[in-house]
Amino acid sequence: MNDVNEKLLNDRQAAEILGLAVSTLRNWRNNGRGPVYRKMGRAVRYALADLQAFINESKRTPYLRRD
């Protein structure tokens, strides 16, 4: 649950934290992908906790292919 006192980040700030282009975040939103976000009117905002959760969920273990 989001704490009402938690600062919400805009596209630019979120993209910087994730190391992505703002356009990537926008494309992901339009395609139902990416981190959880909030939509308030025309404003899109991201909670830092949701960005951290997205980073954690993106963790992958390398697959060792055996031939």
Q: What is the pLDDT along the chain (67 residues), one digit of tens a residue?
A: 556 778 899 999 999 999 999 999 999 999 999 999 999 999 999 999 999 999 999 988 888 777 7
Cα radius of gyration (the chain): 14
Q: What is the pLDDT of residue 65?
A: 79
Could you tell me the pTM of the whole model? 0.81
Which DSSP category does 36 fall into?
A: -
Which token pair is 15?
């993209």
Q: What is the pLDDT of residue 64?
A: 78
> Can you give the residue ranges of every domain in the chain?
8-57
How far is residue 25's CA from residue 33's CA, in Å, rounded to a whole number?
9
Q: What is the pLDDT of residue 3?
A: 66
Q: What is the pLDDT of residue 6?
A: 82
